[in-house]
Structure 1
């Protein structure tokens, strides 16, 4: 405690010890809290009877203090309520009497000082720190939610990308999944058409296989192993070869070689030369009645050849679409592949006897070499790869297995549903953030209002109420309240 020039001292008191100090100095009684509760009851009973203008003097009737009651009393004393007095000059207004009694109850035993001291301590030590802590927690929650939102947004991008990749792999737009997957079945004919040339290119390798088996079995073709499915596939258009018509005209004998299935003029000559023994005049006579005949080979109807090609392709496509026939074809190609692997091993070995034993055999065996076998193997590898193509297998499974189709649809729908769930979670987090931001803003406003009211109350309490209670000494309150 210090002294001033007017011999007035200053007392520094910790705010949280002010009530205890007032009781120790016997400025307020120990039962001050009970008296304050009695005053609060009187206030609640009298407040509703006040004029409207008097009520506006108070921010919150449940949080009224001594100074609020003094302000209401002062207003009533200056209003029409104070005009009615009795013979002794006493007020006769019941409302005015009630508030005079309330103020006196506050002043009796200085219980108002203890109440204000407690209020200041609550605001500075508990109320404002609690609001600040609440703000810090809300801001942490908001930051966590924002982090989750960013993570969810990244997950949505990843899910959308994965979904787009899945749809791209299946070659569907991804709008109506089930319908689009079912429509993939219509791609099968074209997929098989792309495989047909690869299998047809194996015919020479198949002939090589046949000739080797024939050689190994001493020329007996009855019991040799056959690539039955492949042979059926290759010969599916043999019956159509006879649709060409050979026509004798008057010029261009060189076009004989254009007949399908005839490789040279000599083959045509050998076919018809025997007719000379039948007595037919072939135009070599010098008789005047002799008829000059010139050979010319033409195709009766060119469109028939195209139609034949289409029919053949349709038959082969039908064979490939049949799962049993397709399995047989695959097995034959694998058998041919294994056979060619073995031939390659044998050809790599330096064995003069092995190399010379086929010299008098079929030209495919006599002319066999490592390069040719490698080409055959490349053909079988390409055919197997095409038959085992992932796209082809997917479409076949979609066609043949409803459960596989359901599983594909389910997997894609799971990706779509995950995106919807993530977006819903983002919306919920954003709603929560909006609520917490509003609460934080409200708490900042509350802190500002409470701090302003607390500072104002502290100043008035220090300057007006405490000096008389401490024998005219100035009182300075210390503690958390100083940092507001």
Structure 2
């Protein structure tokens, strides 16, 4: 039967279908504008009712909502009903008028059809896209957070590795570096002690040079290394002048601590007391209660000069060389004369001359060059001895010294090991750092800046990580808030579609109406 044949209408064609079947006019939108204005006015004066609040939440008010509002007003405005069954309430009259305007020319049907199309094609997909974007942002935030964490761990690892290499905790970097510099003398002492084990290698090298090049070429080879083997790590002054200095004036460590305050050093300054007190106590030299220095039994004559005792000119004449005139205007420092005092040879070692040979940058480099020269010789000699034919065979070494003839591959290899150990000690990265720290303030600043930069990068990564965490939390909350909103629109759209299908069905003798592609795809 025709009554049982369903009417299938696609959602996107619903409005065109209603217009083509002459259920609504093409100019229905002009009529809707008047109705929407009346709805906005009527909604301002509504009774407090749970059903009305539920109808007005989460959806656009349409014709079917208006009919439900009238049903609710029949209960709330029942007291205004007169004897003839009409309501005197203005609220009821306003909403009844709105419903009549909707039903004229089926304007309501065109509007709800457009609402259904908009919800299906735009509203719900838009919210879905927002939720998907939020989830994508969460994934990106997770990746960024892992990246920031990885970078932070990397730079902190580099910082800790460098601090471990320098032997410092990395809190007060400059102060800690200055403390580590004090370890250099002990390191150089160990290097000098190990250098003594190189004596056989040096003798072997010297004998080889003498045999190949002659006696005149033996003196200049690894001379500094020979000196350290014989005398140890002496001052540069003693190496240059052949005698130890009487006194050594070391140059203080030139590191600027102004940008790094160490609380543990506060209070270690010398307190000279009140500025008005001129008292200086040098021990037993004078009275501590007097504002003067006691030099003993020195007396002054009437003119204020120092009285040197009862020495007359006759006694001066009896002294040896008394007739010699002494010029006291000679500057010993400018003349370069080394003063000999109380039988102890030497003078004052200043500047680079006060440094030890392994601490002086110039002589230290010479020492390293000597070690590398010796190492190169031993490697070449070992290669020759291990080859198929030795360039210096036993027949050629018959006139050489026993030290050349008796050397074996194993003995040369042992010498090479000792040289490489000593070279490794003096060129160790930590020793290099400490040496540069002591002799180069710019190197200290560069080193500290590098360490602080790694900490700054780690802090920036940590801050960026916190920002990403907050961002991820925010988009997560946004996605969570959009989810119920989308579900509410879907539920309202399903309800609206059912109402449209039912309304159209009444116009076709209750034939079943199916709106295709509507909420079924949501």
Distance 1:434 1:212 in 2: 77
Partner of 1:19: 15
Structure 1 residue 59: deviation in Å? 2.4
CA deviations on 1:173-193 (whole Å, 9 max, x unpaired) are 333434333332111011111
TM-score relative to the length of structure 2: 0.64
Q: Which residue of 2 aligns with 1:129?
A: 125
Whole-Å Cα distance in 2 between the matches of residues 62 and 218 of structure 1? 109
Match of 1:422 among 461, 486, 504: 461
TM-score (norm 1): 0.68
Alignment partner, residue 71 of structure 1: 68
CA distance in 2 between counterparts of 1:177 and 1:349 reads 55
Deviations 1:158-209 (A, max 9, x none): 4443333333333333334343333321110111111111223345666677
- Map of 1:476 onto structure 2: 514
Q: How does 1:68-467 map to 2 (within 5 A)?
A: 68-80=65-77, 83=80, 85=82, 91-203=87-199, 225=220, 229-230=224-225, 232-233=227-228, 234-235=230-231, 318-331=356-369, 349-350=392-393, 352=395, 354-356=397-399, 369-371=406-408, 379-463=418-502, 465-467=503-505
Contact 2:397 2:405 (8 Å CA) reproduced: no
Q: How many Å separate the matches in 1 of 2:481 and 2:451?
A: 46
Aligned length: 397
CA apart distance, 1:383 = 3.6
CA distance in 1, matches of 2:434, 2:209: 37
TM-superposed deviation, 1:28:
1.6
Deviates further, 454-463 or 65-74 = 454-463
Tell me the distance in 1 between the aligned counterparts of 2:370 and 2:521: 93
Q: Which has the larger radius of gyration?
A: 1
- On the 8 A contact 2:180/2:434 being kept in 1, the answer is yes
Instruction: Assess if the C-alpha contact under 8 Å between 1:28 and 1:111 holds in 2.
Output: yes
**Contact 1:466/1:475 (<8 A) preserved:** yes
Tell me how far 1:226 sits from its aligned partner: 8.0
Distance in 2, Cα, partners of 1:191 & 1:45: 94
CA separation of 1:98/1:324 partners in 2, compared to 1, >3 Å: closer, same or farther? Answer: same
Q: Once the 2 structures are TM-superposed, how far is the Cα of residue 432 of structure 1 from its aligned partner? A: 2.3
Whichever structure has more helix as a proportion of its residues is 1
Give 1:428 shift: 2.6
How far apart are residue 60 of structure 1 and its match?
Answer: 3.5
Q: Give the gaps of 5 or more residues in structure 1.
A: 241-314, 359-364
Matched residues in 1 for 2:394 and 2:146: separation? 72
Once the two structures are superposed, residues 97-148 of structure 1 have per-residue CA deviations (whole angstroms, 9 ceiling, x without a partner) of 2222111111111111111111122222322233223333332332333234
The partner residue of 2:37 within 33, 38, 41 is: 41
Unpaired stretches in structure 2, ≥5 consecutive residues: 235-241, 245-352
CA RMSD in angstroms, aligned pairs only:
4.1
